[in-house]
Every structure is written in C-alpha cells, then in structure tokens.
Structure 1
Amino acid sequence: MVQILELHLKNYRQYEGETTIDLRTTPEKNVNIIEGQNGAGKSNILNAITLCFYDEEIHQEATGEELETLSYVSESVVEGLSTGDSARGYVEVHLGEDNPDYIFKREFETFKVPNGHNDQTYDIELSRRVGNQYEIVTDPQTTLNQLLPAEVRDYFIFDGEALTEFFEGGYKDRVRNGIIDVSHIGVLNSGIDHVEKVRDEIQRKAKNVEGEAAEIQERIETLENELSNLEGKKATLETEKTEVENEIARLEKKLRGASDQGVQDLIQQRDDLREDIDDFDSRIETTKQDILNELRQAGPAVYAMDALDYTVDQLKTLESKGKLPPKIQDWFIDELIEQGECICGADITEGGETHEHLKELKSTMSNVSTDNVEGKTEIPHIIQDGNQGAETIREYRRRLHELKEKLESKDQDLSEVKNKLKGTDIPDDVDVGELTSQLDDLEEDKEDLIQEIGRQDAKIEDKNKDIRSAESQLDEELRKEDRHSDIVTQKDFATRAVDDMKNIKEKILSQIRTETEENLNKYFNDLIWKDDKYTISLDEDYSVEVQGPDSPDNRIGSLSAGEKQVLALSFMAALSDISGFTAPIVIDTPLGRISGNPKKLIAQNLPDYLEDTQMTFLMTDEEYTDEVQGLMKHRVANEYQLHYADGTTEVTSYE
C-alpha cells in the first residue's frame, strides 16, 4: 500500500516555521483524520500536496479571501521583510510503503515589493531511495507520472464539498473525461494521431501526379479544410453550451437558497414536472421507434394488402376450376403407382380407374405454376401477419397520442409553476422572479445551442462522406497506373491501422464504462444511508441514471445535496479503483453537505469503501463529531487537530 508517510511544511501559508505531519497507516488502520475549524488551514493541507506535486493549489478560497491574493510564504514572515528582500519555504511529501521510497520537494519564494508581494515556485525535486541511500532523480516528472499522473489526480486528491456540483449541468462531459483519464489511452491516442498524419502525408504524394488524380487530391484538401472549419464551429458551440450550463447551475443554486417555504414547494413542483416531461419525452421516442420497427416488419404486407387479397381471390378461382390441386409433390404420386397400393389400402392396378385418376392428377399438376401452389399456402399467413401488424401500429399510435396529450398537460403545468415563480416577490430574500426569468432565457439558449450543434454534426457527417467518396475516387485513379501502386498500398495500410486502433479505443472505453457502472452501483449503495437498493446506469452518452426501488424514473435531478455528494464520491471511488494506480486518497470536507443520521451511516462505511488504500480526511469540527469519531476510530491510525491563532496554525495530536 503506497502511502504518504510524512508531510513536511516550512513557512507555507499559515504553517510558520517547520511542521511535520506523520501520516503512516496500516492495512487494519488505514485512515488519517486532520480536524480543524474553517480558516485554520485544513484545506491548505490539500493544497500543500497538490502544490508539491503539480505546482497548483486546487482549493482556491481561504477565510473569505481569494487564496491567490495571499503569499506562499507565511504572512508573518513576509511582514518582517524589507522591500526588495525575500524569504523561502517548501513543501515535502514522503511516499512509500513502510519507509520513504520517494521524497518529493518543491521550494517557493516570496519577494517583498512596494504595496504587496510576488511569489515564485521552483521545479519539483525528487530523491529516490536506492538501498540505504537516496539519490537525486534528474527527471522527477517522469517518476511522478508513473505514480500519480496529473490526469488522474482529481480522483485521489479532491474537495469533497465541491463534489455536490459534480453532477450539475454539463456533468456528462465530466463523466466522459473521467472515463478517458483512467483508461490509459493516451498512448493509443498519440498512435492514432501519428498514423493519421502519416496517412495524410502519403496521400499528399498524389499532388505529384497529374490529371484527374491531382484534381481529386485538391478537392480532398478543400473538403478537409471545410471539415476543420465545421469542427471548429462545433467546438465553439459546445464551449458556449458548457458555459450556459454552468451559469444555469449557478443560478439554480442561488434560487434554491430562497428561505420561503412556498418558493421551495414551487421549485420542487417544477423539478418533479421536469422529471415527468423527460420521462414522457423518452416514452414518446421509444413508441416512435416501436412504430418504425413494426412498419419494417408489417409495412410491405400492409401496403400490398389489396394486391394480396386479389391474389387470394384468383387462387380460389383456380382451385374451384380444378386448376390448382392441393400441394402434393409429383414424386409422391409416382411412388403410389409404383407400389400398386394406396396408403388407404385401395388397389392401384394399371389400367384401373384409380390408376388412371392418379395419372390425370399428375398431368394436371405439371401444368400448374409452383408459385401458385406456394402462394395458396403462404399468402393467407402474410395477410394475417399484415393485419396483426396494422393493429399493433394502430395501438402504438393510440398510445403515442395519449403520451403527447399528457406531455402537453405537463408542459402547461410547468409553465404555470414558472409563472408563479416569476411573480414571486419576497423582500430581503432571493430575487426569485428575476432568477426564474434568467433561467428560462438560459434554457432557451441551451436548447438553441443543442439544435445548432446537431446541425453541425449533420454537416460534419455529410462532409466526412464527401471526403470518403473523394478518397475512393482517388484510389481508383491511382490504381490505374502501376507506378502509383505504392501510394495506394501504403495509404490502405495506414487507414486499416487507424481504424483498428479506433476500434480498440472504443472497446477499452466501453469496458471501462461498464466497470465504472458496476463500481458506481457498489459504492453508492454501500455509502448511501437508505435501506432501499438503488440501480445506477451509465449510458453510452455518459449520462447517469439513478433509479429507486419504487420507481423506474431517473432521480438524478432531484437528489439532495448530500445524495449528490455521495454519488460523486462513489464515482471518484469507482474511477480510482479501476485506474491501476495505488495512490493514497486525500479528501477535504468529506461530510460537508451531510448531516444527522446519514452522516453517522456514511462515517461508518466510508473507511471501508476502498480497501488497501490510505485515506486522509480533512474535516471540520462539525463533521468530526464525537459520534462520528466513535464510528471511525477502529480504522483511524492518526488524529490531528489544527489550532489557529494570530495568523499561525499549530498541528497537535488529537486530545
């Protein structure tokens, strides 16, 4: 179990002087607790680790001030400097199992300038243990990338309270990015990019040819430029959509802060109606697909019903005239005549009446089309299937009409609730009416952007088809002359290589998505405080559905802040579990949005949610209550308290 054995701070933020925090744990007691009031420096423990590893502090608020306005070096030290002087400090992280195998260190310096200060950080340093000695590593970043690369750090070191907003607007991109981050497909992506560039270079050799091939190559380059422009427009639209979704999430959070109970009831009605509308939209789309599927099966028979009925009538007429015998094979008649005895026991003597009748029947059959014989048997079944299909389609259409009527009713109810919210005026409280109007405008902007992105997707697909068609024409032209065969062969090989690598990539992402879904279900149901079991689905478009035991509806939009935090925490645990890295986990404020009995149950389960992993929880005194302490104590290796006074924090063992 790789763990943070020690954390050394010198003059970092409020940790004036030298501070050492021993974080060694055991498999049986794998949890550290660092408890402190808000502003005591709890979050800066998290920041110290990310500053050392990644030259970045991820928690950007401190005691109501922006952290970036404060100096890296302790304020009390900087205040004692003269203008032009500087002071240094550092953060040092010892990593290993029993003894430090890696000692990472990053120094920083603060310069006193008129009216303020300037900060500077230095390159990360690494000492690696070799035998009983430590040697300086010349390329520490490579080693860090092997232990805990930047792209997966957010699934090991994170702010628990901020997780509440993880599944707000635009969360699908965050989920997708998480899947990609832990899938280790970076090398594969690089390989795809490289081979695509090689293929393009091979194709550009066609510039050296003449005639039709050269013209086609020029057309391909024009199409590729047009495609690049379309993809750029789509990327801009998606960025705008993300910004709108983030603004919607911000305004929603502000709106939910209204203290009036009537407003809260209206917001809940609005959320419930939105869920109902999403459900009806989904059912309508499913019913439309059912109709299309049934049309594919029964459509030919339904559209040809008049012709089929006419054919049946004609076959009946043939049969009444004796021109359409029953479906009997002529070889069967030959066998009866040869045996001289019917299956009923009657004698078939040559020249006899029965013998002559069978010969006449065989002669008649030879003049009847085989298709007519088959049609007499099969067409009634086709008509029956067509009639059943038509009735099924009629039933689907009735269902579709009912769903649309219910959807329209829900839309009207939603409009009424929104109008009530817009008309709400509560002095000295949140401006509910203005926020609701702004949210309506943003939702319209979001819908417009979604439609425009869809139109860009269609244009991009059409452009890709044009390029593929032009490339096929180019290949045909090049194959006409043997001297160009090498270009075609090399390009074909590169194209197959790209396609194979893309297929491998999709299979990897699909597998990781499936594993994430399985782990997400496990961790959420382990951590959630309710007895009922939930089913969580992670779909191909990276949307997440949370279904309760009593309803198939997706409840992700109506989860409480605490439930969303648990869902995001479970997602982080799922990703860290399958990432392949055995890094320690550090969580700031893991129980920040959770209170009452749920807090007790999560505290009881939290230490066990990732086995064989060192976990350090940075908690406020409101989180780490006596009850929570009692529930977690059996897994706790170290407990520390942060004491803040006169701008300086002291770390002591828990009393």
Structure 2
Amino acid sequence: MIFTELVLENFGPYAGKHTINLRPEIEENTRPIILFGGMNGGGKTTLMDAMRLALYGSRAQCSTRGNLSYSDFLSQAVNSQTPPYEKARIELAFEHFQDDELLEIRIVRYWEKKPKDGKDHLGILIGKSDQELVEPALANTWDEYIETLLPLGISNLFLFDGEQVKELAEQDIPPQAVIEAIQSLLGLGLAEKLSIDLDILVSRKRKEIATGLQLKDLEKIEEKLKYYQQESEAANRELGNLKNQLERAEKKRKEASNKFRVQGGKIAAQKNQLDLEKKALEKAAEESRKDLCQLAAGILPLELINPLLQQAKNQGEQEIKIQQAKIAKKLLQERDQKLLSYLSELALQSEKLKKIQSFLEQENQILNQTTEADHTSFLNLNEEELKQLTNILDHQLPLETNQAKKQVELLEKIETEMESKEKELALAASPEEYDKLDKALQEADQELRKCQAAYEACQRRFDEAKKGSDKTKKELEKYSEEAIDYQNNEHLIKAAARAKQTLQLFKEKLTLKKLNKLEGEVSQCFRYLLHKTDLVNRVAIDTQNFSLSLYDPNGELIPKHRLSAGEKQLLAIAFLWGLARVSGRNLPVAIDTPLGRLDSSHRSNLVERYFPTASHQVILLSTDTEIGKTEIEQLKELDAIALQYLLKYDSTKRQTTIEPNRYFW
C-alpha cells in the first residue's frame, strides 16, 4: 500500500482546500520520505488525525477526540472560519494490489458543522485505467474491507507519534493500544473468538435438550453468568482508567515531593530541630572558648617566648656550672698545697717533685680557663629556680600546648557544623512558601490515596465478579453433567470443553512461536539503531504482559533503568519497528514528532538507519528542532527525501497554509 494523495478542506486549522501529493517518487526514482515541517500547534498532528479519520471514521483514535462523541468531534474538527454553507472534507487516496492488479482507492468523508445523524458521509471511489468509479457497496462494508488491508488493531504500529514512543519508553508494561496490536498481530484474537463461539454453541445445546424446569434453572444460571461477565468486563475497563489515574497521581505526588524538598519545604519542616542543633553547637563553642581562655590564663602564653625561655635555661645552666667550677678550684688549690707539702716531707727527688708540681699547675690552668671564660652572668639563678624553668619547658608547656591545639581543632569543627546548619536554615522556605508547598504535597497525597482506594475497590469488584463467573461456570458444568441425559449433546458439550483446552494450549504455543520471531526482529532492530553495539545482545518479551527484558552478550539481565532516556526511546522505536516487520504487511509508516529527547548520536542513528528503511513510504511530521539542518543534510546525502512541505501557522487568522518544496531551511 502507498498513500498517494491527501486532500483537506476546512479541517482543523486548514481553511479552504489543500491538496497534498504523497507519492514517494521523483522522476521515476523512489525515495521513501515525505517530510512535513511545522512548529508546535501548526497542524502536524492534524494531518495524522486526518489519515486516521479517513481510514477508520468513528473508530479512529484521533489525538483531539478524547471522550467526545463522534458527532461532537466532527463539529469541533470543522475550521472556525468555514462559512455555514460549506462543508469539511477529507480525502485519502492510496494504491494497492488486488488480484495482481494495481488499484487506486480514494476515501472521501465530508460533513457539516452540525453533522446529520451525528455521522459523516462516506464515499469510496476506485480508479482503474485513469477512471474513478463510485462504489456504494464498498462504502457500506468499508470497515470490514479496511480491516483486510490495515487492521485498526495494528494501525498504531504504522501511524504513531512521539508521545506514543515516549509512553512506551517510560512504561515497564506496554500501553493497552500496543498490547492489543500485539495480540492482533499474533492472531490471538482468533483463538479467543473461537472459544467464545464454543461457549455460545454449548449454551444453545443446553437449551435445546433442557426441558421445563431444567430450562428455567439453566436460564437463571446463564443470566447470572452473563451478569458476572458484564460486571467483570466493566470492572476491567474501569481498572484501566483508574490505573492511568493512579499513575498520574503517583507522578504528581513525586513532583510535589521533589518540589517540597528542592524549594526548602523539608528543611522548613525541620527548622525547630535545626535551631535546637544550632543552639547546642553554639553552647559547645562557648564552652570550648572558655576552656581556651582558662588555658590562656595559665602558663600557655609562655609558648610565645619559648625560644627566649630556652636561652634563659641554657644561660642558667652555664652560670651554675661556672659557680660550681669556682668552688671546685678553691678546694683543689688547697688540696694541691697540702699534697706538695706532704711530698716535700717525703724527701722526693727534686726532679720528680718539679714534675708533679708542673702537672698540678697545668690542671689548675685548665680550671682557670673555665672559671675565667668570657661569660657574663646576669640571671643568677639557683638550682631550684632552674629546675622549675626546666619543668615548665619540658613538661608543663608541651602538655598545655597540646590541650590548646585540641581545643582549637574542636572549636573549628563546631564552627564548621554551625556554618552548615546556618546554610541549611538559609535554604528553608519562608512560612508562606512552606504553607503553599505543604498544601500542594498534602493535596497530592490525598489524591494519591483516593486513587489507590478507588483502584483497590475496583480490583476487589473485578476479583469478586471473576470469582462469581468461575463459580457459575462450574454450576453450568455440573448442571450439564447431572441434569442433561442425552448422549449426543453430552458428547458435544464435553468435546467443546476439550476443544477449549486445546485452543488454550494452541494459543500459548502460538504466542511462544510468534514471540520468538518478534524477539529476534526487535533485538536486531535495537542493535541496528544503537551506537553501543555491545550493550544489548537480546531483547526478551514476556508472554503474559509483553514487557521487555534486556540481556547483555554474557546473558546477564540489564536493568532497564540503566538505559538513558534516548536509549529507551530507541528501544520503543525498535519494538514498534519489529512488530511492523513481523506483521508481514507492506504498509506506509507515518511518524509525528519522531526524535523526542534523543541525543546527537542516537538521533544520527535514527536518521541514517531507521527513517530510510522503516518502510517504502515514510511520512515524517517534525519541528525545526527535531529534524534540523544536520539531519536534513544526512537525509539528502542518503537521497531519501522525495517531497518536502512547510506548514506555516498564522496565529492572527488561526489558520495553517501548506508550502510545497520547502522546509525550514
């Protein structure tokens, strides 16, 4: 399939008629990319909505519809400047092969500002050999026909936007739309439908063979089963909505908590405790200063003149040594006289006596030199005073100096902690701002609790309905076994039960087989898009909820949070790409806001590797910051761009015009 033309008339911001050529061909050269450039709010998403609306009508999943009825949505989609006598109109033409013949089909939808019967008018034209023929029969069965070409269930794999990629990248479990696309793609819906059909067949057979009271009882049981099934389905749908509300409430609570913390709310809440801690530190600092003052009142200041005291100690020791030498000199002189007199009495030879006398004179001369040295005495310390000075220098002063150092270090540590507390208090929010932040946090908490309570209540409702449904099914089985005696119908009922088991087994094996192929495609696409080729070796897909798990070349699980935001987006795109490839359908791909939060390397990989190969026709709707000058040059070097369009929005007129053969540069 190839989209060949899109016509918009009075649709959204497009006033008047606009015809857009979508053929990916220039002078017989096929180039896949049709590029639309436009600023936010300029009409890019409207083009995507127009394609969806043309294809699927009231079933289309358009971005601006929300909870609006189809009639209200159509009224809202009409351009505000449209005259009352004109209509809104969308045409989408595409080519595809049917029975080995190339057909062009043109879908035409138009409606008034206030649609009659709340619907649009649908016309289908088929072109053969440059002729277009109106096909009213095809228009009447269009929903069934388009399902054979591009089923609604898998359309999100081919027509998707950046928000869808962002949502898929951030969630551990794919959103419901993607899950439905996977189930449709894997053919699981067929097994489910067959199982339901078997239930209907068995129900009919029970009614056929039941008589009188049996039929009445059977109808009651089936009525009860129908009630539980409806209740279960309603609760399941509500659970989906409540889950989205719960996720939004959790996100809002997280944002409020972060804001409360970042803007000083948490510190403001702890202000009293911080003030007490600060006062305790101030008291400790004051005590430390008192201890330092007490030390300063003692001998500690003498540390300032420690060198002078050392000199005084040395001087005192020298003076006392000289005093001792003088006393010793006098005593020795007296002893020498006595010794010489005694030696004279012994009548020693005069020569020996002279030698002894000469020796004593030399010793006395040395002693005289010590006592008569050029040393000035001015301290006149006694031994007790010198001992006190030595004790101060060697013991008391080092001890008090060490204590003073410890007190100074303690005081510095306390002052650092005080400074830290003061900085924390400076960051505290003002009382008014704190009240505002606290109120926002409490409201977010209240909303979260409310959503959690509603979700849990709905979950209980679903569980009860499921339990009631299972119990009623057992009653039906028991009823059929006990009350129905006809052998043929019994055989059919039992065979149906076995067939359902077989269908369940078939569904499980089919899921495994298809998922293995899908895992291979997604892994290949992801590695192809990554610039870190050794980061991921395999992508595994859970068979129950279709969540993704990543494994490195060593087979180790890679936590998803280790991926950057850009890598998560590439994983989401690889997932959608792999699904599209597994579908086996040769369909166009349209992407709104394609590059999101990707960094330059990932963006380059996507531009070079994905856009030119995503499909034979790739429609890109981008802002100037997504596909910029660099990306345009890359695509031109690859010869991948067939057509370019610039969407220019006039805010004064609230209208968008389309300029062909132009982009932002």
Query: TM (normalized to structure 1)?
Result: 0.62
2:54 alignment partner, one of 52, 55, 60: 52
1:200 alignment partner, one of 200, 203, 208: 203
Task: Give, in angstroms, the shift of residue 560 of structure 1.
Answer: 5.8
Task: Name the SS of the counterpart of 1:87 in structure 2.
Answer: coil
Contact 2:173/2:545 (<8 A) preserved: no
Task: Give, in angstroms, the shift of residue 435 of structure 1.
Answer: 2.6
Q: Residue 41 in 1 paired to residue 40 in 2? A: no
Structure with the greater alpha carbon radius of gyration: 2
Contact 1:640/1:651 (<8 A) preserved: yes
Q: Which amino acid aligns with 2:609?
A: N
Q: Residue 471 in 1 paired to residue 480 in 2? A: yes
Superposed CA deviations along residues 87-126 of structure 1, whole A, max 9, x for unmatched, are 12422222126998223232323348xxxx9996533222
Q: Which amino acid aligns with 1:637?
A: A
User: In 1, distance between residues paired with 2:117 and 2:205?
Assistant: 50
Q: How does 1:344-493 map to 2 (within 5 A)?
A: 431-432=440-441, 434-436=443-445, 438-439=447-448, 442-443=451-452, 446=455, 450=459, 453=462, 457=466, 460-474=469-483, 478=485, 484-493=486-495
Task: Give, in angstroms, the shift of residue 593 of structure 1.
Answer: 3.4
User: In 1, distance between residues paired with 2:542 and 2:222?
Assistant: 32
- Name which of structure 1's ranges 428-437 and 99-108 shifts more when overlaid on structure 2: 428-437
Q: Residue 590 in 1 paired to residue 594 in 2? A: yes
Q: Residue 4 in 1 paired to residue 15 in 2? A: no
User: In 2, distance between residues paired with 1:603 and 1:104?
Assistant: 31
- Name which of structure 1's ranges 601-610 and 38-47 shifts more when overlaid on structure 2: 601-610
Provide the residue aligned with 1:366 in structure 2: none
2:536 alignment partner, one of 511, 533, 537: 533
- Indicate how the Cα distance of structure 1 residues 228 and 25 shifts in structure 2: closer, same or farther if over 3 A, else same: same
Provide the residue aligned with 2:662 in structure 1: 654
Task: Name the SS of the counterpart of 2:86 in structure 1.
Answer: strand
2:120 alignment partner, one of 122, 125, 138: 122
User: In 2, distance between residues paired with 1:257 and 1:444?
Assistant: 21
Task: Give, in angstroms, the shift of residue 498 of structure 1.
Answer: 4.6
Q: How does 1:173-572 map to 2 (within 5 A)?
A: 173-184=176-187, 189-208=192-211, 221-254=219-252, 431-432=440-441, 434-436=443-445, 438-439=447-448, 442-443=451-452, 446=455, 450=459, 453=462, 457=466, 460-474=469-483, 478=485, 484-531=486-533, 532-533=535-536, 535-547=538-550, 549=552, 555-556=559-560, 562-572=566-576
Q: How does 1:69-218 map to 2 (within 5 A)?
A: 71-76=76-81, 78=82, 81=83, 85-96=84-95, 101-111=103-113, 122-137=120-135, 138-140=137-139, 141=142, 142-166=144-168, 168=171, 171=174, 173-184=176-187, 189-208=192-211
Task: Name the SS of the counterpart of 2:647 in structure 1.
Answer: strand
- Indicate how the Cα distance of structure 1 residues 172 and 30 shifts in structure 2: closer, same or farther if over 3 A, else same: closer
User: In 2, distance between residues paired with 1:242 and 1:6?
Assistant: 37
Provide the residue aligned with 1:270 in structure 2: none
Task: Name the SS of the counterpart of 1:60 in structure 2.
Answer: coil
Contact 2:8/2:17 (<8 A) preserved: yes
Task: Give, in angstroms, the shift of residue 262 of structure 1.
Answer: 8.8
Task: Give, in angstroms, the shift of residue 539 of structure 1.
Answer: 1.5
Q: Which amino acid aligns with 2:94?
A: L
User: In 1, distance between residues paired with 2:51 and 2:160?
Assistant: 11
User: In 1, distance between residues paired with 2:471 and 2:591?
Assistant: 47
Q: Which amino acid aligns with 1:471?
A: S
Task: Name the SS of the counterpart of 1:583 in structure 2.
Answer: coil
Contact 1:34/1:618 (<8 A) preserved: yes
Q: Which amino acid aligns with 2:120?
A: Y
Task: Give, in angstroms, the shift of residue 246 of structure 1.
Answer: 0.3
User: In 1, distance between residues paired with 2:218 and 2:517?
Assistant: 41
- Name which of structure 1's ranges 445-454 and 225-234 shifts more when overlaid on structure 2: 445-454
- Indicate how the Cα distance of structure 1 residues 107 and 258 shifts in structure 2: closer, same or farther if over 3 A, else same: same
User: In 1, distance between residues paired with 2:501 and 2:452?
Assistant: 38
User: In 2, distance between residues paired with 1:425 and 1:448?
Assistant: 34
Task: Give, in angstroms, the shift of residue 619 of structure 1.
Answer: 0.5
Q: Which amino acid aligns with 2:610?
A: L
- Indicate how the Cα distance of structure 1 residues 520 and 252 shifts in structure 2: closer, same or farther if over 3 A, else same: farther
Provide the residue aligned with 1:276 in structure 2: none
Q: How does 1:570-609 map to 2 (within 5 A)?
A: 570-608=574-612
Task: Name the SS of the counterpart of 2:648 in structure 1.
Answer: strand
User: In 2, distance between residues paired with 1:71 and 1:463?
Assistant: 46
Task: Name the SS of the counterpart of 1:541 in structure 2.
Answer: coil
Task: Name the SS of the counterpart of 1:86 in structure 2.
Answer: coil
User: In 1, distance between residues paired with 2:611 and 2:164?
Assistant: 20
Superposed CA deviations along residues 161-200 of structure 1, whole A, max 9, x for unmatched, are 2332245487464453222222345555544433432222
Provide the residue aligned with 2:382 in structure 1: none
Task: Give, in angstroms, the shift of residue 592 of structure 1.
Answer: 2.5
Superposed CA deviations along residues 495-516 of structure 1, whole A, max 9, x for unmatched, are 4555544544444344333333
RMSD of Structure 2 on Structure 1 (CA): 4.2
Provide the residue aligned with 1:377 in structure 2: none
Task: Name the SS of the counterpart of 1:542 in structure 2.
Answer: coil
Contact 2:260/2:438 (<8 A) preserved: no
Task: Give, in angstroms, the shift of residue 642 of structure 1.
Answer: 1.3
Contact 1:169/1:249 (<8 A) preserved: no
Task: Give, in angstroms, the shift of residue 4 of structure 1.
Answer: 0.9
Q: Residue 13 in 1 paired to residue 12 in 2? A: yes
Task: Give, in angstroms, the shift of residue 623 of structure 1.
Answer: 0.7
Contact 1:170/1:242 (<8 A) preserved: no
User: In 1, distance between residues paired with 2:589 and 2:463?
Assistant: 40
Q: Which amino acid aligns with 1:246?
A: N
Gap regions ≥5 residues in structure 1:
267-422, 479-483
Query: TM (normalized to structure 2)?
Result: 0.61
Task: Give, in angstroms, the shift of residue 6 of structure 1.
Answer: 1.8
